[in-house]
């Protein structure tokens, strides 16, 4: 007597194949999800890391100061001039930029402190995510 409930019949084989296929597909989907999740975490961490912005800001500031004569360095303002007029580098609206006009040097800045020592300016920038960046900039007197 032959039983209809055998796993060796065609219906049982199709069911087992379908279950194995679903398991393989679910493992592939899980792997893709893990890769995407890791990528998003790395991308978020890189977007929060602002040290590259700090280096770029100091390079821009030093290049900018070479084109002007520095008149005065206060706690949070640099006053300078050239043939065209007087300018300031200030922090307003979480941006460090040159006035008059709007030429931003750094974004997401909470505060910055300046300390002049001869022809050197010590710069301490605190970003909104509480990262701090310190650098020294030389200018022509």
End-to-end CA distance of the chain: 107
For residue 37, the model assigns a pLDDT of: 94
* Rounded alpha-carbon distances, angstroms, from residue 43 to 39, 50, 76: 6, 13, 32
CB-based contacts of 18, cutoff 8 Å, min separation 6: none
pLDDT value at residue 1: 47
| Residue that the structure tokens 């602002």 belong to | 50
pLDDT tens digits in sequence order for the chain, 141 residues long: 455 555 556 666 788 888 999 999 999 999 999 999 999 988 887 767 777 888 899 999 999 899 999 999 998 999 999 898 999 999 999 999 999 888 899 988 999 999 999 889 999 999 988 889 999 998 877
Looking at residue 11, what is its pLDDT?
Answer: 62
Q: What is the pLDDT of residue 18?
A: 87
């Amino acid at each position: 007597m032959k039983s209809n409930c055998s796993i060796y019949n065609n219906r049982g084989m199709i069911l087992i194949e379908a279950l194995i296929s679903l398991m393989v597909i679910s493992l592939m989907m899980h792997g893709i999800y893990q890769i995407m999740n890791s990528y998003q975490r790395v991308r978020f961490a890189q977007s929060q890391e602002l040290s590259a912005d700090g280096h770029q800001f100091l390079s821009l500031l030093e290049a900018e100061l070479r084109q002007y004569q520095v008149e005065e360095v206060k706690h949070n303002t640099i006053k300078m001039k050239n043939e065209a007029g007087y300018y300031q580098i200030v922090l307003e609206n979480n941006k460090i930029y040159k006035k008059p006009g709007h030429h931003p040097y750094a974004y997401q800045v909470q505060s910055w402190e300046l300390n002049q020592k001869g022809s050197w300016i010590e710069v301490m920038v605190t970003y909104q995510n509480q990262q701090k960046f310190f650098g020294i900039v030389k200018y022509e007197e």
